[in-house]
Amino acid sequence: MGFWDRRIDKRIAAYQRELIETHYAEVENMYRQIRGWRHDYRNHIQAMKVYAANGDLEAIRRYLDELDTDLNTVDTAVKTGNPMTDAILNSKISLARSKGIQVRADAHIPVKLRLSELDLCCVIGNLFDNAIEASLALPEEQRLIRVYMDIKGAQLYLSFTNFTAGKKLPKRAGRFASTKGDGHGLGLVRVDTIVERLGGYLSRNSEDGAFTTEILLPIGNSSPTENDSSPE
């Protein structure tokens, strides 16, 4: 292996470690918020009982409005049924929204994936990063990313769509080029490499106004997540 190959491998490994650490921390924070809300549930009930005993209906309405706001904040988290996917999706969704990008995510993974966590993290992370970067070129009111994930037979299906500046993206050597430069283009190559190694399918389509990436990845033998939801 040459010097540049080793350097690229080190960059990829460092990037993957950063993704895993960041996104596991994100999902753990989400679960802490949920546990905290459940812990406070009894106190909320007691407070409303006091208002009810005093006949203070307006205070009850205000209290319920506050609880509704808190619950909606928790429910904005995507819950796919797979902890690793939850971690990276919620982390990237939070990042996108902080940049004024609307995200619509519909993701369901009711089985325990046999895919490597590193591979899954790298694929989803790079797809989201590219969609975020492309969206920033648009006025804030036009920024939108659509994410769809589901199990189709024995395969995991992923679809990422983001809106573009109304024109088809250029290709370079038969591939759609990243607008983030050669360094960031490494992420696109990494996704292609993972899909090819796993025997999956990848399709990129740039139509006027939208760019879509679709991926199918074999999941191998799978089992329901009810008894063991942690990815291998």
Amino acid letter, residue 97: R
Q: Are 190 and 12 in contact (CB under 8 A)?
A: yes
Rounded Cα distance, 14 and 6, in Å: 12
Closest CA to 206 of 173, 167, 158: 167
Closest CA to 89 of 193, 167, 160: 160
Does the structure show a pLDDT above 60 at 104?
A: yes
Rounded Cα distance, 121 and 42, in Å: 38
- Average pLDDT taken over every residue of the chain: 77
Mean of the pLDDT values across residues 165-188? 54
Closest CA to 167 of 159, 175, 158, 176: 176
Q: What local confidence, expressed as pLDDT, does residue 154 receive?
A: 87
Mean of the pLDDT values across residues 82-92? 81
Domains of the chain, earliest start first: 3-75 (no CATH), 83-218 (3.30.565.10)
Mean of the pLDDT values across residues 13-28? 63
Mean of the pLDDT values across residues 46-59? 90
Q: What local confidence, expressed as pLDDT, does residue 22 receive?
A: 60
Q: What local confidence, expressed as pLDDT, does residue 79 receive?
A: 79
pTM: 0.62
Q: What local confidence, expressed as pLDDT, does residue 162 receive?
A: 94
